[in-house]
Amino acid sequence: MNVYKIKRRIFTFLLSVLLLLPLLSAVPASAAEAGFSYGLIPAYAGSPFAPVNGGEPYFSLSDYSGEAFEDYGELDALGRCAAVTACLGVETMPTGKRGEIGSVKPTGWQTVKYDVVEGKYLYNRCHLIGWQLSAENANRRNLITGTRYLNTAGMLPFENMTADYIKETGGHVLYRVTPVFLGDDLLARGVLMEAESVEDGGEGLSFCVFCYNVQPGIDIDYATGESRLAEEGPVPGPEPGPGKAAHIINANTGVFHLPDCASVQAMKEKNKQETDLDAASLIEAGYKPCSRCRPDLAAPQSPGENEPQPPASARLRGDADGDGAVTAADARLTLRAAVGLETYSGEQSAACDMDGDSAVTAADARLILRLAVGIAA
């Protein structure tokens, strides 16, 4: 090869690098640089999480990797956690028993108990990347002070779905969790959770949600982590009237049913709450109608004269898109419905309510994913 050709190749290479540099420098290094801000998040309105950016994660091409890694940001001057990013796979998951984390006191930590909180304790040491995904125990850069509600109702369903995807496909998931602190607050307002399956380009798993660091019935001072019972307390259910109740409310899910609904029979006694209010009043009060017995469609009637339930859906259980098969696409569609990005028909809701709690949630999407890969739901 003559000197001219060598110089030409070197020139072409250098020119390519110069052309690519502006593109590489524009690649967002965080969700914030890609356009996320807390101002985009709607006020908490009863759901533990809300979709962000149309449910699409803020990842850039430079974030993707076919090899597992974990990157835990440095604590700031106040000792608060930063964003954590990982490419999760079977190789990052635990192989031994979970260790103790009680020695870690994240910013805003308070040991306080309330009867209205599941398990009594208001706060948990919340892993940004869950132990089941990372095998990280007492990593101070991976633990924040989070409410029980944030931990179990907000983050856990998405962690479970991610873990199931990895175990059942052997693939990798690009995963980032960003705690959102305002000013010098010691307690995060919530976390932004992003995930996308790598090998299939997000076909099997993809989400971007904000999980609220709140606890129903409790007022929280985010500057310090101090708390108290809300002045009005937890939202009370309607008091039942005389005679047979017109509807049964599931106090755990906020869904109301006709008394003869099959879901009522499966409901735990502690969660049953009778009321003689009509469907319109319940919906106005913030309760949701059951997707099986559809009390919102029943004609007005006297208590005890409820109409029989409509026939069960003929759609295949878990078949969200109605193509006659249960696939990962159905799980993803159901996750989008759970976070409010899709609106399901009554038939879809009945087919995709896998756990029978009369609501389509991230837990149902996880069960559909298990069914799609051949594991009984």
Residue 37 CB: number of other CB atoms within 10 A?
9
What proportion of the chain, given as a percentage, has pLDDT over 90? 45
How far apart are the C-alpha atoms of 184 and 222, rounded to whole Å?
Answer: 9
Domains of the chain by residue range: 28-229
What residues are paired with 143 via a beta bridge? Answer: 127
**253: pLDDT strictly greater than 80:** no
pLDDT band of 9, cuts 50, 70, 90? low
**31 Cβ contact partners less than 8 Å away, ≥ 6 residues apart:** 58, 83, 176, 178, 192, 194
pLDDT band of 376, cuts 50, 70, 90? low
- If residue 173 lies in a helix (H) or strand (E), which one and from where to where? strand 173-180
DSSP-based three-state secondary structure for 158: helix
Single-letter amino acid code for the residue at 125 = R
Strand 84-88 with 69-72, pairing: antiparallel
DSSP state string for 70-82: EEEPPP-TTS---
pLDDT band of 82, cuts 50, 70, 90? very high
Q: Which ranges in the chain belong to alpha helices (H)?
A: 3-25, 131-134, 148-149, 156-169, 262-266, 279-284, 328-338, 346-352, 362-372
Task: Assess contact for 90 and 76: CB atoms under 8 A.
Answer: no
Model pLDDT for residues 14-58, shown as the tens digit of each residue: 444 333 333 333 333 578 777 888 988 999 998 899 999 988 999
pLDDT band of 299, cuts 50, 70, 90? low
DSSP-based three-state secondary structure for 253: coil
Task: Assess contact for 153 and 47: CB atoms under 8 A.
Answer: no
How far apart are the C-alpha atoms of 274 and 144, rounded to whole Å?
Answer: 38
How far apart are the C-alpha atoms of 192 and 41, rounded to whole Å?
Answer: 10
How far apart are the C-alpha atoms of 312 and 208, rounded to whole Å?
Answer: 33
Task: Assess contact for 145 and 107: CB atoms under 8 A.
Answer: yes
Mean pLDDT of 224-241: 65
pLDDT (0 to 100) of residue 264: 74
Q: What is the mean pLDDT of the chain?
A: 81
Model pLDDT for residues 195-212, shown as the tens digit of each residue: 999 998 888 899 999 999
User: Which of 196-200, 284-288, 291-295 is the most confident on average?
Assistant: 196-200
Which of these ranges, 6-10, 36-40, 61-65, 293-297, has the smallest mean pLDDT?
6-10
pLDDT (0 to 100) of residue 152: 94
What residues are paired with 23 via a beta bridge? Answer: none
How far apart are the C-alpha atoms of 89 and 172, rounded to whole Å?
Answer: 5
Predicted TM-score (pTM) of the model is: 0.65
Domain 28-229 has CATH 3.40.570.10: yes
